[in-house]
Amino acid sequence: MTLHLLKLCVGAETVEDLEAFVAARMASAQTPYTWHQTRMVPKRRDELIAGGSLYWVFKGQVAARQKLIDIEPFTDEAGISRCRLVLDPTIVRTRRQPRRAFQGWRYLRPEDAPDDVVSTTVEDGLPDDLREALEHAGIL
C-alpha cells in the first residue's frame, strides 16, 4: 500500500519559493534528486517509497507535492540521528486543502491527499494568490 507524508514548508511562503529553492539546489548538486532533512525517521519506509509523495503545506494549505524516492537515516556531525527524505525535483501543484499547523511530519493516506492540479493554458500563468482565490470561489 502506498502512503504519503505531509510537512509544513518552512522557509518558503509560496510554491514559487519552493521551486526557486529546488532549482538553486539542483544547479549546484551532483545528483538528479533533491532532499529535505528532518529529525525523525518514518517507520513506514517501504509504503512511502512505493509511490508516495511529500505533500507541502504553505500558510495552512496543502498546495504542492514531490515524489519520495528514498528515505536515508544518518547521524550528523553532532551525533544526532537525522533523516534525509530524497525527493524528485519536480514539484507538482495540488488542489489546495486546508491543514492546521503541526510539528514535524504526518502520514497522509492516499484517499485523504488532494488531487493534482491539471494544468491548462488559463491556469499556467496565474500567481498562487489569484489561483487560490479562484479555487476558493469554485471557478478553478
Residue 125 pLDDT exceeds 80: no
Band the pLDDT of 114: cuts 50, 70, 90: very high
Closest CA to 91 of 47, 30, 36, 135: 36
CA distance 115 to 110: 10
* Residue 56 contacts residue 5 (beta carbons within 8 Å): no
* Residue 68 contacts residue 85 (beta carbons within 8 Å): yes
Task: Record the pTM.
Answer: 0.84
Per-residue cell: 44: 513506514
Number of H helices, E strands in the chain: 4, 7
- Provide the domain count of the chain: 1
* Residue 53 contacts residue 6 (beta carbons within 8 Å): no
Neighbouring CB atoms inside 10 A of 42's CB total 19
Residue 33 pLDDT exceeds 60: yes
CA distance 76 to 98: 34
* Digit-coded pLDDT (tens) for 34-55: 999 999 999 999 999 999 999 9
**Mean predicted lDDT score pLDDT of the chain:** 88
Residue numbers of the domain that contains 37: 4-136
Q: What whole-number percentage of the chain has pLDDT above 70?
A: 89
pLDDT at 131: 72
